[in-house]
């Protein structure tokens, strides 16, 4: 029986059982395994790991753990004190785009509202999510750490908060997205891009049945239409609530 000693730093402790948090973990093993597999067997998904130090040297995920190794595993938040060339993470994506798991519908709407390209469906299977992420270069956001442990997943993040309002702030901070916020650019329902349209051409599409909506719509002059699903958007009372939400998000950055 061989033994390796693991120490997980900072927020990686989130993934460990209580008796493993913030302590040196003595991990016994019989068969040789890569450090990536061993880290995941202890509960930490590989996309959450930024760099790994074994006996004073930085290694990549393919390193085979040896008897007596002392292993330190660090998350992204520790990066400011370290050289990026030793990171085990893949290169950051040139365009930030997301695909979200079924638990994160409200977060998907918030990301779209702020202008971020966000795929979400409440019937996406894990297989599907991993494939979309890999083939389209999209970051998976999930509350399922098993999904992040799939080998196909290179860019992913486990959303810690359960409150949707806190989730959007968490994601904006994690990926440094505040400066990329461009609200009212995407359809909240389907992620399509919005285009400005002439009032006369679409006013008949505002549902007659929903009287108050129609009354609101006849009083405004700026309309946008989703290029994909044709949904019409205008600055009604709904708009003020969304604007308040956006202001709240922007203010959270100032309060950081």
CA 224 to chain centre: 27
Q: Given candidates 226, 233, 235, 249, which one binds Zn ion under the rule CB under 5 A?
A: 226
Helix locations, 28-69, DSSP H: 35-41
Judged by CB under 5 A, does residue 202 bind Zn ion? no
For the bound state, the minimum distance from the C-beta of residue 187 to Zn ion, rounded and expressed in Å, comes to: 3
Q: Point out which span in 5-13, 63-71, 78-86, 230-238 binds Zn ion (CB under 5 A).
A: 230-238
For the bound state, the minimum distance from the C-beta of residue 193 to Zn ion, rounded and expressed in Å, comes to: 9
For the bound state, the minimum distance from the C-beta of residue 191 to Zn ion, rounded and expressed in Å, comes to: 7
Judged by CB under 5 A, does residue 187 bind Zn ion? yes
Q: Point out which span in 29-37, 69-77, 96-104, 228-236 binds Zn ion (CB under 5 A).
A: 228-236
Q: Point out which span in 24-32, 63-71, 98-106, 231-239 binds Zn ion (CB under 5 A).
A: 231-239
| Helix/strand/coil percent split, the chain, to 5 | 40, 20, 40
Judged by CB under 5 A, does residue 229 bind Zn ion? yes
Nearest CB to Zn ion, comparing residues 59 and 226: 226
Q: How many CB atoms lie within 10 A of CB 214?
A: 13
For the bound state, the minimum distance from the C-beta of residue 229 to Zn ion, rounded and expressed in Å, comes to: 3
CA distance to 45, 47, 123, 127, per residue, from 120 (Å): 22, 20, 9, 14
Nearest CB to Zn ion, comparing residues 153 and 226: 226
CA 202 to chain centre: 35
What's the rounded Cα separation, in Å, for the pair 14 and 213?
Answer: 45
| Structure tokens that stand for 192 in this block | 């399509």
Is the distance from CB of 46 to CB of 149 less than 8 angstroms? Answer: yes
* Site track for Zn ion across 120-159, x = CB under 5 A: ----------------------------------------
Q: Order the strands of the 25-29 sheet from edge to edge.
A: 25-29, 2-8, 70-75, 49-54, 57-59
| Structure tokens that stand for 223 in this block | 């309309």
Q: How many residues bind Zn ion (CB under 5 A)?
A: 8
Judged by CB under 5 A, does residue 190 bind Zn ion? yes
| Residue numbers at the binding site for Zn ion (CB under 5 A) | 187, 189-190, 192, 226, 228-229, 231
């Amino acid at each position: 029986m061989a033994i390796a000693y693991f120490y997980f730093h900072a927020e990686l402790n989130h993934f460990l059982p209580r008796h493993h948090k913030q302590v040196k973990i003595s991990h016994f093993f019989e068969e040789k395994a890569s450090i990536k597999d061993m880290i995941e067997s202890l509960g930490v998904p590989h996309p959450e790991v930024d760099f790994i130090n074994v006996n004073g040297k930085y290694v990549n995920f393919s390193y085979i753990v040896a008897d007596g190794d002392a292993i330190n595993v660090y998350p992204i938040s520790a990066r400011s004190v370290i050289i990026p060339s030793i990171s085990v993470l893949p290169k950051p994506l040139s365009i930030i785009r997301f695909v979200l798991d079924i638990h994160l519908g409200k977060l998907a709407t918030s990301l779209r509202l702020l202008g971020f390209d966000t795929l979400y469906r409440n019937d996406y299977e894990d297989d599907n999510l991993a494939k979309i992420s890999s083939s389209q270069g999209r970051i998976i956001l999930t509350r399922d750490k098993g999904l992040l442990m799939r080998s196909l997943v290179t860019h992913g993040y486990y959303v810690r908060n359960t409150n949707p309002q806190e989730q959007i702030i968490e994601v904006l901070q994690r990926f440094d997205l505040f400066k990329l916020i461009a609200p009212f650019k995407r359809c909240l329902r389907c992620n399509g891009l919005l285009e400005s349209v002439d009032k006369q051409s679409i006013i008949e599409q505002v549902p007659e049945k929903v009287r108050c909506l129609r009354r609101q719509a006849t009083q405004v002059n700026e309309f946008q239409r989703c290029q994909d699903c044709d949904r019409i958007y205008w600055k009604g009372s709904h708009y003020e609530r969304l604007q308040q939400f956006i202001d709240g998000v922007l203010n959270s950055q100032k309060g950081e």
